[in-house]
């Protein structure tokens, strides 16, 4: 057995679910992702995409099932895996009164990164924000803030990167930065889980895709298993709020 084969999966979920009262937001999800893997999560509004990502990022505790991240029990000991995660969600977790560079400097110090100045400059360059490094975040456009949030999420080179609709507000240059960061991260063994309404983006960046409907997985297959049109047709065939048969 090779050293790589001996490593635990980065993500291993079994029967993972989350309920709010009698309603299940996510139910019965089985998922295994090895180093370098990338998963695109598709589904309509209310399908459970954000809840699934929040479960994987240990932001909410599951109501059922198990979740292991890098071999650690992420349900019993979420604090052990959180330093290994990078999360970009609906909130940017940026400080509006700090500058672009000051935000990254703060997070670099929180993560106790070495050579903070160099790390911040590299992160700014990765999202092409060097020219606005001294601008306060409140004065930045929506797209600039999204790029900065992406830089914040990847600053510490996390082993697992969780991205919830990361393309929001990004122009063509910003989307190119996103693609480059995901590609580079995967080549370094990072696992990426990406929820998006942009089917072409998800299929381009990820080797695997699943469709959620009413919190349940209806399709889980390699991204190349179907054409873009076939994936789109499968997504469109699911009525909102309809659970799989």
Q: Cα–Cα distance between 142 and 145 in angstroms, integer?
A: 5
CA distances from 3 to 13, 135, 189 (A): 23, 46, 14
| Structural domains present in the chain | 9-91+158-236 (3.40.50.300)
Evaluate if residue 4 carries a pLDDT over 80.
Answer: no
pLDDT at 6: 62
First CA to last CA across the chain, in angstroms? 40
Distances (CA, A) of 13 to 33, 55, 245: 9, 10, 22
pLDDT of residue 238: 77
pLDDT of 117 reads: 94
Measured in degrees and rounded to the nearest 5, phi and psi for residue 62 equal -70, 155
In this predicted model, what pLDDT tens digit does every residue of 137-192 receive, in sequence order? Answer: 999 999 999 999 999 999 999 999 999 999 999 999 999 999 999 999 999 999 99
Instruction: Say if residue 1's pLDDT is above 70.
Output: no
At 79-110, the pLDDT tens digits run 999 999 999 998 899 999 999 999 999 999 99
Give 8's pLDDT tier (boundaries 50, 70, 90): confident
pLDDT of residue 239: 65
Query: Is 92:140 a contact under the CB 8 Å cutoff?
Result: no
Assessment of whether the complete model's pTM goes beyond 0.75 = yes
Query: Distance (Å, rounded) from C-alpha 244 to C-alpha 232?
Result: 17
Tokens 């695997």 found at: 208
The 3-state DSSP class for residue 241 equals coil
Q: Which letter, b or e, does each residue of 62-82 get, where b requires 16 or more Cβ atoms within 10 Å of its Cβ?
A: beebebbbbebebbeebeebe
Q: What is the mean pLDDT of the chain?
A: 93
Q: Tell me phi and psi for residue 131, to 5 degrees.
A: -70, -20
Mean of pLDDT values over 4-17: 84
Q: What are the pLDDT digits (tens) for 196-214? A: 999 999 999 999 999 999 9
pLDDT at 195 over 90: yes
Reported as a single tens digit per residue, the pLDDT across 33-77 is 999 999 999 999 999 999 999 999 999 999 999 999 999 999 999
Is residue 242 very low, low, confident or very high in pLDDT (cuts 50, 70, 90)?
A: low
Question: Residue 26: its pLDDT value, please?
Answer: 97
Task: Give the 3-state secondary structure of residue 130.
Answer: helix
């Amino acid at each position: 057995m090779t050293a790589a084969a001996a490593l635990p999966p980065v993500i291993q979920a079994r029967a993972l679910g989350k309920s709010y009262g009698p309603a299940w937001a996510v139910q019965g999800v089985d998922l295994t992702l090895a180093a370098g893997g990338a998963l695109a999560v598709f589904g309509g509004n209310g399908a459970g995409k954000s809840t699934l990502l929040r479960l994987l990022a240990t932001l909410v505790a599951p109501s059922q099932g198990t979740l292991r991240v890098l071999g650690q029990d992420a349900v019993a000991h979420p604090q052990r895996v959180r330093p290994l995660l990078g999360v970009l969600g609906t909130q940017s977790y940026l400080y509006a009164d700090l500058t672009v560079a000051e935000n990254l400097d703060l997070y670099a110090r929180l993560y106790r990164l070495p050579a903070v100045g160099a790390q911040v400059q590299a992160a700014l360059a990765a999202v092409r924000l060097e020219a606005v490094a001294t601008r306060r975040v409140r004065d930045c456009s929506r797209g600039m803030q999204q790029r900065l949030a992406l830089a914040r999420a990847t600053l510490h080179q996390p082993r697992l990167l969780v991205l919830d609709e990361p393309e929001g507000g990004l122009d063509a240059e910003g989307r190119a930065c996103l693609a480059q960061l995901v590609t580079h991260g995967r080549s370094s063994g990072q696992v990426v889980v990406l929820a998006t309404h942009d089917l072409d983006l998800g299929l381009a960046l990820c080797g695997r895709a699943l469709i959620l409907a009413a919190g349940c997985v209806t399709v889980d297959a390699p991204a190349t298993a179907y054409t873009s049109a076939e994936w789109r047709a499968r997504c469109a065939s699911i009525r909102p709020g309809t659970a799989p048969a």
